[in-house]
Amino acid sequence: MRLLFWNTYKNPKINDYIASIVQEKNIDILITAEYSADENELSQKLIEIGIPLTKTCNIGCNRISMWTNFINVSPATQNNHYSIQIINNEFIICGLHLPTDLHGDYSNERHLEMTSIINDVNNLSSEINSKKIILVGDMNEMPYNQGCLNADGFHGLPVLNAQDSKYRTVNGKCYKKYYNPMWNLFGNFHYPPGTYYYNNSRLHNPMWYMFDQVIISQELIPFFNNENLEIITDCYLGDLFDNKMHPNKNISDHFPIFCEILEEI
């Protein structure tokens, strides 16, 4: 299962770039945020490159769009900020785009939304008897911020093995652990050091942000292809960055991310 997520910055001419990456990476599941281009045009371009993807039902969620080549797809919870789909009766995939802090501090509201999401996917996991969970999207916060890391949020740990205990107890309550591999892409040992760049005059500003993330359940760790986790910076059409090596806002202000879940090991 090869998955691509991209916040497309409401670019009405983004479809050629999407199709280019879908072709290059042989994508099975495409998830977008802030998509405002022509869906019919995108579908036709995907057919032309030989990778026809069908849009999933996401009535009730206008911020996330999802396309896939899987036939057995059932919609679960659809919310203004997230769309949950069940694939092949076993994979629970939640595409999300959470509130931003660019116009004020919405960390509490975002954390509340994350608590709702994790409750929904955990309840659905019990309902369909599957623990194969993927959370992917624009979190609008860093992996080390409260919503992504807190036990009552996504609980996305930087280090987690398949053999580790599945829960952590805080004040007598058990919380399921998740793994966030995006921690491995931080820093300047490789380019880029994040998926979003923003420079302002505030004292606290890392400038590079890892807003776009994939977080997986512990049960998927043996199947997660760590070597293929990637922040994409170019495609067949050319670079996705500008002359300062920041995301090119003429294309999108975010870099897309790519990951792969192996069917067997």
pLDDT at position 103 is 80
Please give the structure tokens belonging to residue 230: 């990637």
Consecutive H or E run containing 120: helix 107-128
CB 257 within 8 A of CB 221: no
pLDDT at position 180 is 98
pLDDT at position 207 is 95
Could you give the CA distance from residue 13 to residue 193 in angstroms, rounded to a whole number? 26
What domains does the chain contain, in order, with CATH numbers?
Answer: 2-260 (3.60.10.10)
Walk along the chain (265 residues) and give the pLDDT tens digit of each residue.
999 999 999 999 999 999 999 999 999 999 999 999 999 999 999 999 999 999 999 999 999 999 999 999 999 999 999 999 999 999 999 999 999 998 888 999 999 999 999 999 999 999 999 999 999 999 999 999 999 999 999 999 999 999 999 999 999 999 999 999 999 999 888 899 999 999 988 888 899 999 999 999 999 999 999 999 999 999 999 999 999 999 999 999 999 999 999 986 5
- Residue 50 has φ and ψ, to the nearest 5°, of 85, 15
Closest CA to 213 of 247, 244, 242, 184: 184
Could you give the CA distance from residue 218 to residue 159 in angstroms, rounded to a whole number? 11
Q: Are strands 132-138 and 91-97 parallel, antiparallel or unpaired?
A: parallel
CB 51 within 8 A of CB 22: yes
Say whether pTM exceeds 0.95: yes
Half-sphere exposure of 44 (CA within 13 A, CB side): 5
CB 242 within 8 A of CB 233: no
Closest CA to 255 of 8, 57, 35, 3: 8
pLDDT at position 265 is 52
- Give the list of residues 6+ apart from residue 227 with CB closer than 8 angstroms, or none: none
